Amino acid sequence: MPMDFLMKIEKAEFPLKVDSFDDINNVLVLKAAGLVDAEMLTPQPGDAGGRPEAAIVIRITPVGRVALERKKDCGPPSAGH
């Protein structure tokens, strides 16, 4: 999930390059939501698919930092509630 990925990279050193399919998808979603600034590395012209082959996360945006704080404040769901 994108928010889990955002929490995972919260303390990372930026720029951060990711190249797994799932991580690239997470970066795409987070970038579209304005939670990270990132650049997508596209395949060479003529390569099939046209999907990014990697993503470089430049930073977590201020909006992304607020989202992380909100996620922490909510905490894990309580059993029976």
pLDDT surpassing 90 at residue 76: no
pLDDT bin (cut points 50, 70, 90) of residue 47 is low
Distance CA 44, CA 42 (A): 7
pLDDT surpassing 80 at residue 34: yes
Structurally, the chain folds into a number of domains equal to 1
Q: Is 57 inside a domain boundary?
A: yes
β-pair type (16-18, 54-60)? antiparallel
Q: Is 81 inside a domain boundary?
A: no
Residue 7: domain span: 2-73
What average pLDDT score do residues 45-54 get? 73
Residues 6+ apart with CB under 8 A from 50: 42, 43
- Which alpha helices (DSSP H) does the chain contain, by range? 2-9, 21-32, 62-74
pLDDT value for 77: 60
Distance CA 51, CA 56 (A): 14
